Structure 1
């Protein structure tokens, strides 16, 4: 597809064709229902028995399946046309936005998409600066070329699919003649991914995703949010408000989907409880700070990210990773409380600044354990944290990419097993990109020294209550080697050998897990205020505690 063709393309015409196929499918549905009630049902209820009756019913069943499949094929054609329309509309919007920017910058675009600076005067012909195009021209040419390539890909894919439908209609090899018989009440429609090539690749860095989004016209951004929230809500690098809007749409759909299902498995029930808890938290939260649903999915045990304050405009961001035993419902419950407490502590530490505090459940933490012995602690492997570390690393890069104005002060905060996730993220190439790392109630980070966490060890902070049993978890049996500072996942972060700053926390009650849960609670001693000071960059206010 050339530039003029994409400029003049009319995606609405494809949408109208899709709507026509939908109407045809609906009319065909009524025809199928009439056939079933007047022919199939009467034959079944006739009392006719014998070989001929069996053959007749078998033939009717085959015809019924073909009719149902034919309706499904009509629906599939409509869905394919809509997908193609979305892809062309997106590419066209990118093209028109780039052309408008070129015109505003006084640049010319030829029929092949080349961007040049037009020569206006005789003097310009001898001016090297006038002959050379500015960097903006190269960027615009790349955007125009990308839009044309995306449109060509979508156009060819759509044409191939429509030709395939036409061939099937001609030679009788459609769904109905391939024995395809879906549920007539809820046919499965698998739509070709025509929109995918017009989006950044799944592995694209958040900076590229952000640049792509900002190149889209506002109308196209809104169309994607509304029509395809699943593509927007969890894409690192996109603006927080866009993700929030998309995820609220997705939340409504998840609630409807899981509520309408039959008997739920334990994991499905846990997810539904989580969706409901997040819904209730959003409904009950006051306007200050704004609460954004930054991430949501039913992947694994369920994923959820809430932000108290807008991270795109915040001066300080704290990204809190919960740990052992965390479920999706906790994102709307106790872990949301902790993030809200953290926002309040940061605000109190420096009222002149604008913080955002986030709870990030972007991985599957291990389930809780009832006692600390080798048998129950067998669930505490490192694999879950390793998978989470990659996602957390990309999430923090997305916070950087989507931020407006001067770079924010970013604090990575891990509690319990979440501190291992944060630690492993810091050990990835390039680190997390955080300015400070805070570890509370940590059973280890996978590292032997703070210097291995991707930041200056002077910016690694540790809170470990004396009565917190998790912070004393020894290494697996046989691996202690006599080192009293060895923990389940490496060196004790609160030890002198680790090399971090240990800050003052309350001892907490003894003989239970309560001391493990108080670090971000207003009633849990000085730790919450201390973390608030770290988040806002006031390290001079941190009360030290001797290392172990």
Structure 2
């Protein structure tokens, strides 16, 4: 009991604790309301439209702001294998899983090994919120353009370094905005394009941005193909990869209409952007390789155990170097590998690609029509004395598929339709489709 006239020394401390409890309870009430509303929308089994996603993302952002001081991301695995990630997720209750998606969507969406439906849900939240942030960022940049020129001696002028940096950042942010809009258009118009449901397996706006998009659920697919692009690929140009992935899905599905197929556009690495200055360096491929192996391993960890699984890596140009580096550095968990327009893959034999004998396939446009391998081999080919071996060479040991397309980027061409009829797949892409659905005996070789 305090002495008469003397304040209780513990009273202030007790009041502080009481105030904290009141704050927590108030936050909890706010969290519960927003959280319940958002979860009701999230649990509608994929019927959300773009407006719904915006509402959910806004609610979840408010929930995270209120809950951030009470909940942490410490329990989410970091640096674990996809198998360990999958096991961790399976141990959580439904309520715990919902909380992680709601409070930490970026971390959950990035975890290889988690179900495609979960990653899609988490990454759609991130995408929708980041779209707003990117649009605001671009408006701010455009409104704060610095002075472009400065006077030098003798009346000469030069472009200021500050303006150059401003322009570079403006182009980067504008490019990300373009990529996000392409993704949103894909999600809105998937059905009208005659494609299966889309799944956003990865997304971020770091650097030039990254995204991984699947046509169809790879967890339930009997055949999955992963398209790995080459030089110049970035979020801004993901529409190119989506188009090729779409054609792979249409071609493969037409060849095996009774099979379930998923095709994936893997824009998950920092690709070289300039041919002469950047693509001659192997560092881009070497840095990306562990991420490639992690992703392919994740496809196996999240796949339904009662469905047979066959996975094909389809790589183009510098993307073939990325896939080759992945096999060289670790274990590429693919059943087949298809190379197109390869400048070299860092290994000298198909037997080093981690797939069964006879399951490395190569496409090279007709003689003189794709010269990437002619100069690329001296950088990315496997050196043997004075020689440099790439997948185009007989000694490499790949199955050389016949092609009927032109140029370095024509391997996914369709013929142009006439009289309102759809175009037909070229032999180049049809051969890829036959590998994807394991119709090896129908592949036309050179």
* Bin of the TM-score, shorter chain as denominator length: 0.7 to 0.9
1:473 to 375, 379, 382: 375
- What is the aligned partner in structure 2 of residue 512 from structure 1? none
- What is the aligned partner in structure 1 of residue 84 from structure 2? 208
Q: Equivalent residue of 2:84, what SS? A: helix
Q: TM-score, normalised by structure 2?
A: 0.73
- What is the aligned partner in structure 1 of residue 395 from structure 2? 497
| Structure 2 segments unaligned to the other structure (5+ residues) | 1-20, 32-62, 142-168, 416-424
1:322-333, aligned counterparts within 5 Å?
A: 322-331=229-238, 333=239
Q: Equivalent residue of 1:427, what SS? A: helix
- What is the aligned partner in structure 2 of residue 441 from structure 1? 341
Q: Equivalent residue of 1:471, what SS? A: helix
Q: Is the 8 A contact 2:235 2:267 kept in 1?
A: yes
- What is the aligned partner in structure 2 of residue 276 from structure 1? 181
1:396 to 261, 273, 296: 296
1:417 to 295, 300, 318: 318
1:531 to 416, 432, 439: 432
Cα RMSD between the aligned structures?
2.7
How many residues are matched? 351
Shift of 1:435: 0.5
Partners of 2:279 and 2:285 in 1: how far apart? 12
Higher mean displacement: 265-274 or 302-311:
265-274
Partners of 1:21 and 1:245 in 2: how far apart? 22
Higher mean displacement: 464-473 or 535-544:
464-473
1:283-362, aligned counterparts within 5 Å?
A: 283-286=188-191, 288-331=195-238, 333-362=239-268
Partners of 2:115 and 2:311 in 1: how far apart? 17
Q: TM-score, normalised by structure 1?
A: 0.60
**Pair 1:507–1:278, CA change in 2 (3 A):** closer
Q: Which runs of 4+ in 1 moved over 6 A?
A: 78-81, 479-485
**Pair 1:291–1:484, CA change in 2 (3 A):** farther
- What is the aligned partner in structure 2 of residue 167 from structure 1? none
Shift of 1:298: 1.1
User: 1:433-477 CA distances to partner (integer Å, 9 max, x unpaired)?
Assistant: 100111111111011111111223411000110211223225449
- What is the aligned partner in structure 2 of residue 522 from structure 1? 414
**Pair 1:502–1:13, CA change in 2 (3 A):** farther
Shift of 1:20: 8.9
Shift of 1:407: 4.1
Partners of 1:217 and 1:223 in 2: how far apart? 10
Q: Is the 8 A contact 2:279 2:318 kept in 1?
A: no
Q: Is the 8 A contact 1:14 1:82 kept in 2?
A: no
- What is the aligned partner in structure 1 of residue 134 from structure 2? 258
State whether structure 2 residue 1 is matched by structure 1 residue 16.
no
Shift of 1:378: 5.3
Shift of 1:256: 0.6
Q: Equivalent residue of 1:529, what SS? A: helix
**Pair 1:484–1:347, CA change in 2 (3 A):** farther
Q: Equivalent residue of 1:319, what SS? A: strand
Partners of 1:19 and 1:481 in 2: how far apart? 63
Shift of 1:220: 2.2
Shift of 1:495: 1.1
Q: Is the 8 A contact 1:470 1:516 kept in 2?
A: yes
Partners of 1:13 and 1:358 in 2: how far apart? 49
Q: Equivalent residue of 1:434, what SS? A: coil
Q: Is the 8 A contact 2:109 2:119 kept in 1?
A: yes
- What is the aligned partner in structure 2 of residue 241 from structure 1? 117
User: 1:131-163 CA distances to partner (integer Å, 9 max, x unpaired)?
Assistant: xxxxxxxxxxxxxxxxxxxxxxxxxxxxxxxxx
Q: Is the 8 A contact 2:195 2:246 kept in 1?
A: no
User: 1:44-89 CA distances to partner (integer Å, 9 max, x unpaired)?
Assistant: xxxxxxxxxxxxxxxxxxxxxxxxxxxxxxxxxx989834644xxx
